[in-house]
Structure 1
């Protein structure tokens, strides 16, 4: 059996110190030595113990620099260890610029370690006795090669400037080719040129070249050394001020930067020009030039000016400071840093401002960028119906056109194509700003034109100093008046209007007038029953009084055509109205010139848009404008194609499903206010409808509120009568009309052959005939005749439109004399998923039906037979009452309406009678209004009603002569 100690050895690794620890020895040192079988430099790390005097002692433990690098997060330490690892295990490595860079990192000694040099004469192995401590010094920044003339020979003598001393390499110790050891300080050769000089002169006192070979030696060797080593030709005399003046060199020096390619890098070479001679400021090159007699003279470089130039360059990029130790005569940046990150733009601007000339930029491989930073100016002026933005973008001498800018920002690119073939670079912040400029405006000539309706957007897009004073005043005025109706000056009610306007209706008229004056479209979104149609008709008369001859287009659902025609005739008889509808409509749009108002339906608009779009209307009014809420529908696109000076949407429900409903209507009345469909969906619709973002909702509200006027019945309740009654005309379709006319002709023929007393004796027959006509007005299916199935019902269609638009916010009573009509409506409500209660004479639990309607929030509609719902009920939850088939007796109708308006009711009740125009329903209604004797006090029964009717009355009711 194995012991625990044996198992420990078999299963557990030996404990080892992590490379960042000192192993308990107390000191980590750097050792410089030569590889045993090569003369190349080896640099290693050791952990060593120390004596009380601080001297190192054996044993010394070798530390892997590569492993140590893995256990540090300090960038300086990481670079230090990595540099040492380069010399720890590469005995055959050559001398390269990368070696010099690594040695510069080591000589800086960022970790403050102690340095030692190994002496193999003491011991081939590393031990405390074989190591001599040295101080990590600095870099040999100044190495001079003196060139003298001795008879027929030129002599070159090196000088190493260390402190105040100028030393020959043989006066110091050259260690490992790279270093000079002098007075215990270790100095590093700055580049490979100096390394070569140290190697050469460490065994030679001087270098001699015969004068016959000197020119070649000067051109091929010394000229190249001058980049790194200061070469001084002592035999050439310094130029006098007179000689400098004669050579034209006493003027100001010129600072130049040359750019060139080197692989994936851009070389940046700063040069000082002295007359015709250019000197890289990082080189050691002396300036020699011939005097007036052709003799060479030495001109002193302006060290102060060059140092200032060099300091200026170093400040342009953080890497330039690091590159000062490379020993190169230039700086360099990767193309990605220089071009793609557009570093050069700020640098070029700084260089030009400092008076520095730049050459070579356009010659950089694959470079099409413009070398100039964008100069951008913005000024917003006030136009007639627009705000005009002067947007100027200039790159040097090149101006970017608005279309070029728009194309760039639309592609989310900061590069803009210029006429000279170069690409200007836009600042990132301006790409975003300009995208908003172009989103809110369109290009007209050399300006960006923004509709005045976007005044609020304008103030958000542009800074205060970019707005002209007139623009600021206009924005302030719009805000004050559109945010507060009271601030809009009331208009005078048109004289031709045959109606009295309530106060809120006058405000609405004044609001419409203000929008018209400013060229804004709008949405009149008052609750149903507040007189939107009346306000619009009054506005039409106001426009007419203005003296400008215009034809306005009113687009309505087919079911409302007759209502509009009747209301126009009632309230504005001076307006000439054309109903553009039906199979026999005249399609010559020139006829429109003869009318003030053209009425048409959405269906007809869609059918005739090919030529309706060509007529320049004054206004286009869309009633029940939620009909265009689907922005993908043909109705929406047809409406957008219409030409008009301005537009108005009329609706009681601007939003039925989601914010896209609102977008469709706003984009019709004020195109561009909310951007294109995708923008609106991304910025507003999805965040608001799907995620309920309140910030986006508030932002959208701020944009659209000035152009939507919505008053609820609750808000203006004090101005409303307790009960408001109106008529909803429901024109019958062709099939339904044909059935009606057949039955009407039959009853009319019957009456024509009868005397007055015979009609009274046969009143039952007449009543049955009238009842059949009323049933046909409701729905021909009520006659229970198979051949009349599927003839359509104008009333059901119109009523369902009304219920769909109102059931979400209001409760509704629907009365009919015919239970079979209620059953048809019941089926329609179930098909639409609208909750309802149902009460007829056959209903046993009346209280349950009433309670359901009054208290169940899901029950939106109450279907009641006129007799069953006429007494004993209190239905105060309802805001709307629909009388599907008007009763002969107004008192019975009044009772039905009063079911909704009872003691304790806080709502204003809207009662709507559904009437088929051109039928017995409409004619009886008009006859009731004329016959004062048929008031509620006198007319109590159907018999009294029939008794009051003459044969002539019947002929008029039934369309007779």
Structure 2
């Protein structure tokens, strides 16, 4: 019957019994007469119509309506059945015991959900009108009243000669509540709300409905003698621990004792365990957890007098019971929670955390833990007990329990480190050499002279594993090669060994303090401070007869440092055999140019090309031989017969793959000493380092299998920082690396370098064909029309040749071969990005930038781009300047020469240098300007034996003229002679 919101009404809340879901609440609007008298006119109140009556509701009512809606059967079905289903079908399917879908646990879960929802309602119902519906559905049936104070439950056990009666008494205030056989109902299980007649009783939170419901229609529960012990154990004992319980015919005593912490442990049956302590029969019976093979279960107990109680931080007292004659005694033991929590914190600090009073550990890990902390545990008064495993072999091992100590002292000899080490297990002192193979094989059990088994501490395997791999035995003495100074220093830093006295090897760790070696008089130039340090460092390695990495950033002068070192060797000492420098083909001309510039007195031979002289006597006539990795691969049978003084690898990452042909060919070469030059010793993986270091110092990093398992996998897959630091300290003495940031104060504001490269074979053929035809055409034009009238055809032809030098695809889109310069540019881009630099890439040719963009897009490299057709110049500039992910900015020289401020860049690549240095300078000044806080490195890419190199040489001579003579492309042409043109086209 619909209620009018315009007439007086009242909201009431009524309980009703649902056939399957039990007692549920509902909200109603009832029309009233006057202020309180309810009429029969009523309707359900829900979220669908609550706004209609909101003027007569308060905030609590609004909240109650929403909460009660969640308990409606339809809402329950939607909550627990995602697919649409009729209510009747839902209840028949899941609530009827005969249904195949019937699942008591599922029904308990639903009831628990409803219970929690109803529990939230009672606080809001205070002051509201509550009813229990009549059987005919009338909501305002029986009005209910909430009691003002909580009810209390008194639990009783009355033991007579035949059985025990368990019953409860409920009181509210001083009044005993008559609730049994009164059609009382539990409206909520936790916290309990009990309806007796028209009164609603609530209880303390520790009481739940399950303790009351058995007695709604029963005076007591009868416990027969045969079930007494089991019932007392499972029900009476925990009840006495948490509630006030009255015993009649039984005894309840209270006891206080000083607690003692105990660790009781048991090994799994597959573990070879020994008896460390004699367990009590009671504990053996009590403690029998299931454990995995080779696992130890540890239980934390607290002994109070004769009682052993499992850890439980939340208990103020525990209850134990025992039979005495024909009667029962219950003992309530007061627990010292502060003491127990202190011990638990203590165990946590030692690395053991208990869950439900137990902890699982690997057997050997536990024994190692026990050994490590044995003295501390004893000092804390902790009792230890091992339980015998009844299924264990009778020949179980007996283990040494106590701390293990190791002492290692290292002394530096002439050629070796002498290692003196002993290990102590209690009264036994064992030479470390006897444990070496155990550590290498990861075997933790070591048998002592008396037959007991000592467990090697797990941390020793990580701490001394690397040392054990490289230790060598010589007549019972342990030695370590001197190049393993990094291992020694690492152990010293961790205070694991007695520090060695300062020796020659330690000096490698402080290259700045090395003895200053005079520069050879023949050196043409002056090394910067950091370069002089590198020069001294190379000399020091030479004195130790060891190899190493000069790994400075690109552009810091690794070549000039090496040339100065070689010059010093050959001028100051009588060295007969030549040294070999192996490099990528693209670097041959750079080495030649640097040698001519800085060390002209050094006798240099280039061992490349089809006409190379395979004659050892020719090698003897030179100090240094320059060759390429490709030549070494082809001529290794010849080269391996020559005993070189030094072999120096430039861009040594070329041999990072130890199984590659080039790596094998290089390693077969003979030399007294070896040096690696690279800015990126590790390109893709930590494994890159092994092959290079194996070449520089054979055996230094062990075999590859060991290096991979001990360093590569832990560092790369497991992200093990300790192994990374260990490797870093190990190799540190033999890698000298300075970044541009570290030496910035020593550098000029701007550093320029020309990078030479060679054309590929296909490119060279294409270039020669075009050049030949063009040369004949231009010389004919000059002869017929004169030089002035031939400038257009000259510029046209030179431009075509420049395009081929950059990439033949610029002239012939069907060209499928390589470009030497393009490959060099791509490699430089990759290296610069790896080192975190930002690069401006300038070209006069938009088409070349287009080819480069295609390469970058395929490689998923993001970049900014600007040419003459770019409408919004600001956008790519902002992108490059402020986005750390954008490392590259491709710019056409004409579009980007003026008006741009690109101080985020510290590298500038000029892909196709040409006539006018001023044009290049404008491009360089985009990065090298006020506001730049980094040194700017400029790299110009020039192809050897091409029109580019000829123009570069011509430009150098023309620079002697006044500046205004070389300012534009037109002016350079006006200064050219026919002889210049013939030189260019030769």
Look up the match of 1:852.
879
Decide which moves more: 432-441 or 745-754: 432-441
Cα 1:453/1:948, change in 2 over 3 Å: same
SS at match of 1:937: helix
Following TM superposition, by how much is the alpha carbon of 1:512 offset from its aligned partner in structure 2, in angstroms? Answer: 1.8
5+ unaligned residues in a row in structure 2: which ranges? 1-214, 237-249, 252-276, 287-304, 307-324, 326-383, 386-392, 424-429
Separation in structure 2 between the aligned mates of residue 691 and residue 465 of structure 1, nearest angstrom: 26
* Residue in structure 2 matching 1:520, options 524, 546, 559: 546
Matched, 1:802 2:828: yes
Look up the match of 1:650.
677
Look up the match of 1:758.
786
Look up the match of 1:909.
936
Look up the match of 2:922.
895
Matched, 1:472 2:501: yes
Separation in structure 2 between the aligned mates of residue 556 and residue 74 of structure 1, nearest angstrom: 72
Cα 1:425/1:515, change in 2 over 3 Å: farther
* Residue in structure 2 matching 1:822, options 849, 866, 877: 849
Decide which moves more: 382-391 or 871-880: 382-391
Following TM superposition, by how much is the alpha carbon of 1:599 offset from its aligned partner in structure 2, in angstroms? Answer: 2.1
Q: Write the mapping of 1:577-656 to structure 2, written as runs, cut at 5 A.
A: 577-587=604-614, 591-631=618-658, 633-656=660-683
Larger Rg, first or second structure (1 or 2): 1
Contact 1:379 1:390 in 2 (8 A): yes
Cα 1:929/1:428, change in 2 over 3 Å: same
Following TM superposition, by how much is the alpha carbon of 1:793 offset from its aligned partner in structure 2, in angstroms? Answer: 0.7
Separation in structure 1 between the aligned mates of residue 511 and residue 496 of structure 2, nearest angstrom: 30
5+ unaligned residues in a row in structure 1: which ranges? 25-48, 51-72, 83-109, 112-127, 129-317, 320-332, 344-375, 394-399, 418-422
Cα RMSD, aligned residues only: 4.8
Per-residue CA distance 1:237-294 (angstroms, 9 max, x = gap): xxxxxxxxxxxxxxxxxxxxxxxxxxxxxxxxxxxxxxxxxxxxxxxxxxxxxxxxxx
Separation in structure 2 between the aligned mates of residue 377 and residue 696 of structure 1, nearest angstrom: 23
Look up the match of 1:450.
480
Following TM superposition, by how much is the alpha carbon of 1:577 offset from its aligned partner in structure 2, in angstroms? Answer: 2.4
Separation in structure 2 between the aligned mates of residue 81 and residue 381 of structure 1, nearest angstrom: 57
Following TM superposition, by how much is the alpha carbon of 1:557 offset from its aligned partner in structure 2, in angstroms? Answer: 1.8
Look up the match of 2:417.
387
Separation in structure 2 between the aligned mates of residue 649 and residue 689 of structure 1, nearest angstrom: 24
Cα 1:12/1:955, change in 2 over 3 Å: farther
Separation in structure 1 between the aligned mates of residue 552 and residue 588 of structure 2, nearest angstrom: 20
Q: Write the mapping of 1:66-465 to structure 2, written as runs, cut at 5 A.
A: 75-78=279-282, 336-337=396-397, 382-388=412-418, 410-412=440-442, 428=456, 436-442=466-472, 449-458=479-488
Separation in structure 1 between the aligned mates of residue 931 and residue 495 of structure 2, nearest angstrom: 59
Following TM superposition, by how much is the alpha carbon of 1:802 offset from its aligned partner in structure 2, in angstroms? Answer: 0.3
Cα 1:388/1:583, change in 2 over 3 Å: farther
Separation in structure 1 between the aligned mates of residue 950 and residue 431 of structure 2, nearest angstrom: 68
Following TM superposition, by how much is the alpha carbon of 1:871 offset from its aligned partner in structure 2, in angstroms? Answer: 1.3
Contact 2:897 2:923 in 1 (8 A): yes
Look up the match of 2:292.
none
Cα 1:7/1:641, change in 2 over 3 Å: farther
SS at match of 1:899: coil
Contact 1:452 1:520 in 2 (8 A): no
Contact 1:380 1:466 in 2 (8 A): no
TM-score, normalization by structure 1: 0.57
Cα 1:790/1:10, change in 2 over 3 Å: same
* Residue in structure 1 matching 2:819, options 770, 782, 793: 793
Contact 1:853 1:859 in 2 (8 A): yes
Per-residue CA distance 1:643-675 (angstroms, 9 max, x = gap): 333322222233444433444444443344444
Look up the match of 2:591.
564
Contact 2:636 2:665 in 1 (8 A): yes
Separation in structure 2 between the aligned mates of residue 649 and residue 948 of structure 1, nearest angstrom: 46
Matched, 1:505 2:526: no
Look up the match of 2:800.
772
Contact 1:613 1:641 in 2 (8 A): yes
Contact 2:410 2:418 in 1 (8 A): yes
Per-residue CA distance 1:888-916 (angstroms, 9 max, x = gap): 11111111111211111111111111111
SS at match of 1:838: strand
Contact 1:560 1:729 in 2 (8 A): yes
Look up the match of 2:955.
928
Cα 1:405/1:713, change in 2 over 3 Å: closer
Look up the match of 2:862.
835
Following TM superposition, by how much is the alpha carbon of 1:629 offset from its aligned partner in structure 2, in angstroms? Answer: 3.6
Cα 1:836/1:434, change in 2 over 3 Å: closer
Decide which moves more: 731-740 or 653-662: 653-662
Contact 2:485 2:733 in 1 (8 A): no
SS at match of 1:825: helix
Look up the match of 2:76.
none
Cα 1:546/1:722, change in 2 over 3 Å: same
Cα 1:727/1:74, change in 2 over 3 Å: closer
Cα 1:756/1:621, change in 2 over 3 Å: farther
Separation in structure 1 between the aligned mates of residue 524 and residue 860 of structure 2, nearest angstrom: 42
SS at match of 2:648: strand
* Residue in structure 1 matching 2:559, options 521, 533, 548: 533
Following TM superposition, by how much is the alpha carbon of 1:614 offset from its aligned partner in structure 2, in angstroms? Answer: 4.5
Look up the match of 2:229.
17
Contact 1:629 1:662 in 2 (8 A): yes
Following TM superposition, by how much is the alpha carbon of 1:521 offset from its aligned partner in structure 2, in angstroms? Answer: 2.4
Contact 1:452 1:519 in 2 (8 A): no
Look up the match of 1:726.
753
Look up the match of 1:813.
840
Cα 1:932/1:385, change in 2 over 3 Å: same
Matched, 1:871 2:898: yes
Separation in structure 2 between the aligned mates of residue 465 and residue 614 of structure 1, nearest angstrom: 47
SS at match of 2:887: strand
Look up the match of 2:32.
none
* Residue in structure 1 matching 2:811, options 775, 783, 789: 783
Separation in structure 1 between the aligned mates of residue 812 and residue 457 of structure 2, nearest angstrom: 74
Decide which moves more: 796-805 or 600-609: 600-609
Following TM superposition, by how much is the alpha carbon of 1:933 offset from its aligned partner in structure 2, in angstroms? Answer: 4.6
Per-residue CA distance 1:288-324 (angstroms, 9 max, x = gap): xxxxxxxxxxxxxxxxxxxxxxxxxxxxxx99xxxxx
Cα 1:466/1:704, change in 2 over 3 Å: closer
Separation in structure 2 between the aligned mates of residue 390 and residue 827 of structure 1, nearest angstrom: 62
SS at match of 2:417: strand
Contact 1:562 1:730 in 2 (8 A): yes
Following TM superposition, by how much is the alpha carbon of 1:387 offset from its aligned partner in structure 2, in angstroms? Answer: 2.9
Contact 2:903 2:931 in 1 (8 A): yes
Look up the match of 2:767.
740
Contact 1:381 1:468 in 2 (8 A): no
Contact 1:886 1:914 in 2 (8 A): yes
Cα 1:464/1:952, change in 2 over 3 Å: closer
Separation in structure 2 between the aligned mates of residue 425 and residue 17 of structure 1, nearest angstrom: 45
Contact 2:412 2:418 in 1 (8 A): yes
Contact 1:884 1:914 in 2 (8 A): yes
Per-residue CA distance 1:484-525 (angstroms, 9 max, x = gap): 333212221222222221112112211222222223322222
Contact 2:914 2:952 in 1 (8 A): no
Contact 1:777 1:795 in 2 (8 A): yes
Residues paired across the two proteins, number: 624
Separation in structure 2 between the aligned mates of residue 615 and residue 10 of structure 1, nearest angstrom: 104
Separation in structure 2 between the aligned mates of residue 721 and residue 680 of structure 1, nearest angstrom: 41
Separation in structure 2 between the aligned mates of residue 13 and residue 752 of structure 1, nearest angstrom: 127
